Every structure is written in structure tokens, then in C-alpha cells.
Amino acid sequence: MWSECGIVKGTLATLTVCGLLLIACCTAFSQDEGDDDPRGNVHLGMPLTAPLNPMGRVTDFGWGLTAGGGYNFTRKHAVVGEVMWNHLFVPASALAPIRAAAQNPDIDGSGKLYAVTGNYRFELRGRTRGAYFIGGGGLYHRTASLTQPVTTGSNLTCEPTWEWWGFSCSSGTVTGNQTLRSFSSTAFGLNGGVGVTVRVGEAPYRVYVESRYHYAPTRGINTQLITITVGIRY
């Protein structure tokens, strides 16, 4: 538990430092403010997901959609509500113990992640370019589903993949006589990241590229991932 907290704090600290450096680099052109100063903000993007351990041991990558909107108090300070959906792809290695237990090599599976968050955004925005830091928290809901029910036997070593699919373990072995096809877990989580924007067309339309870290203590395996999002905002 303490090591996981250290990873979270270290990752968030790194992102914060990177964000401050990025914002410092943009300060020079942020003095030349443009005329795009709406009170509301909306955005739509496509996040590509890079799972971190322990989640990274049982998922390859993911992609999805994110959308949101909020209120700009000033050009620098804003609140942003956001909804994110991500489809998580599972490698063959994470399915191997499941296939062996069910004696069916054709079993497949996947995961999904849903997040509803409220965030604060600090931004330095020039006429054509900008940089920002964003962070907040909310509810994270993760699901994992198989193409058929699987029943556990006895004396199965408790590998991370079993917990990913929702099976419980005791004393290093998978609890016997469990039958599962799908699993879900909901937990409150946190996120933080940095991004850059480039104005396209008439103000206030901008393309943005953002990197954000997400963490939620979901049951079985913690949800930890980095999303790289490309989208458009107003």
C-alpha cells in the first residue's frame, strides 16, 4: 500500500513539475492575449491509454472518447466537468490461465473504463498557442468481461490476471468453485496532467494535446494509467 502511494505521489509530482516548466516556456507568448475569451468551455477528444503496473501486467493499451464542459472564471482559471470512456485491450497472456481453467482456447475478453470527473484548469493562453495544467477527481468505473462463464478449480496460483477478471484469492491461491463472466468495480480516483493548445480557424476554437495520469483504487487491481488525448475545444 505504501509503495503504491509513493508511485502515485511521484507520478503526480513529475507531471506537476513538467506542467510548470511547460507553462514557464509559454509565458513569453501568453502576454499577447487573443480575443478568444468565452465564459463557457467545451471539448471533445480521443484518448489513447497506456496502462501502468499493476494494471499494465494484464492490459496492453486502450482508446476511447472524452467530452466535457465547464466555466471560465478568467482566462487563466476554469472548472471543467468531464466524461471519459475507454476500451481496454487484453493480451493473450492475461487470458491464458482463464483458457486453461475452462479448457477452451477460444475464450476472449476485454475491459472498459468509465470516468466522471470534476477538474480545475490553470491556463496561460496566447493568441495562437497556450499551455495548461489540469487536475481533479471523480468516480471511476472499470469492467472486465469474458465471452463465456469460467469456473475455478483447486490449487490455482493467484496471478494478477485472476484478480483482473474479478476472481478472489486466499493465501496465494485462487478461491475454488467461483463462476464469473463479468466483473466491475467503482472507486473514487484522482487525475492530473498537462496540455498544449493551438488555435485553429476563428477564435476560440483550438486543437489540444494532453497527457494525464489517472489513479483509482478499484477492487482487485488498482486502475493506473496515462492518457494521451488529441481533440478540439472551444
Mean pLDDT of the chain: 86
- pLDDT band for 10, please (50, 70, 90 cuts): low
Only one residue has cell 513538467, namely 18
Q: Are 230 and 206 in contact (CB under 8 A)?
A: no
Asked if residue 105 has a cis previous peptide bond (ω within 30° of 0), the answer is no
The verdict on domain 2-233 having CATH code 2.40.160.20 is yes
Query: Does residue 113 have a pLDDT over 70?
Result: yes
Query: What residues does each domain of the chain span?
Result: 2-233
Give residue 11's pLDDT. Answer: 53
Query: Does residue 69 have a pLDDT over 80?
Result: yes
3-state secondary structure of 73: coil
- What percent of the chain lies above the pLDDT cut of 90? 55
- pLDDT for 166-184, tens place per residue? 888 888 888 888 888 899 9
